[in-house]
């Protein structure tokens, strides 16, 4: 029971950290500075898009890998490497990973309306790192526990997304330096999660 609880907590932390509702909320506030009255509408659209992508990854990701003949251990190793590199990029660069569409998503548009789904929701929030993490969690057990843990983790992240975005947009005002520090801390956590995923993939692939 304790092992299952730890597994669920690790899954939740991994998905929430990699979707990062608080730091992304800072960028969201900047991007919607000219349209504050539409923030609620934008967040609803972002949340729906992220939920569809990540719930879909949790439910059918493993089946798609099996269909393509991809070994789940090998996928865990590759996914862990990707997530680790994203974390190091954030840690040393102080900005969101380019693999998550960080650069494109942070460019200030005249109106945020055309950027809500792409590149903001996908891939800035639900990008390769988040999708890989969810599929790896869902595929980490053979008894269905991994899928349930992935679904629970995604549900928590989806709930946190509008809370983080709207609360940050209204109440939190960080300097650029503070934003960089927050991003670097998130990068360290993501790199650690990536290494865990990679080690789990190695264990599964070699049946250690």
**From CA 204, how far away is CA 73, in angstroms rounded?**
5
Exposed (0-12), middle (13-18) or buried (19+): which is 29, by Cβ within 10 Å? buried
Model-wide pTM > 0.85:
no
With cut-offs at 50, 70 and 90, classify the pLDDT of residue 54: very high
Rounded mean pLDDT of the chain?
84
Q: 23 or 152: which carries more pLDDT confidence? A: 152
Give residue 122's domain range: 2-206
Which pLDDT score, from 0 to 100, does residue 158 have?
97
Q: How does pLDDT run across 107-142, given as a tens digit for each residue?
A: 556 678 888 998 889 988 998 888 988 998 898 877
Quote the number of domains for the chain: 1
């Amino acid at each position: 029971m304790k092992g299952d609880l730890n597994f669920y907590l690790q899954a939740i932390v991994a998905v929430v950290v990699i979707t990062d509702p608080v730091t992304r909320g800072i960028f969201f506030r900047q991007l919607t500075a000219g349209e504050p009255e539409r923030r609620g509408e934008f967040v609803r659209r972002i949340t729906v898009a992220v939920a569809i992508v990540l719930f879909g990854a949790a439910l059918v990701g493993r089946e798609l890998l099996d269909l393509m003949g991809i070994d789940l251990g090998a996928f865990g190793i590759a996914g862990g490497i990707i997530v680790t590199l994203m974390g190091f990029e954030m840690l040393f660069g102080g900005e969101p990973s380019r693999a998550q569409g960080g650069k494109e998503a942070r460019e200030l548009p005249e109106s945020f309306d055309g950027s809500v789904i792409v590149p903001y929701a996908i891939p800035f929030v639900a990008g390769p790192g988040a999708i890989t993490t969810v599929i790896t969690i869902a595929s980490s057990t053979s008894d269905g526990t991994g899928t349930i843990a992935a679904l629970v983790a995604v549900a928590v992240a989806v709930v946190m997304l509008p809370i983080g975005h709207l609360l940050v947009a209204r109440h939190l005002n960080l300097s650029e330096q503070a934003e960089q520090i927050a991003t670097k801390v998130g990068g360290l956590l993501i790199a650690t999660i990536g290494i865990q995923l990679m080690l789990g993939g190695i264990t599964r692939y070699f049946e250690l």
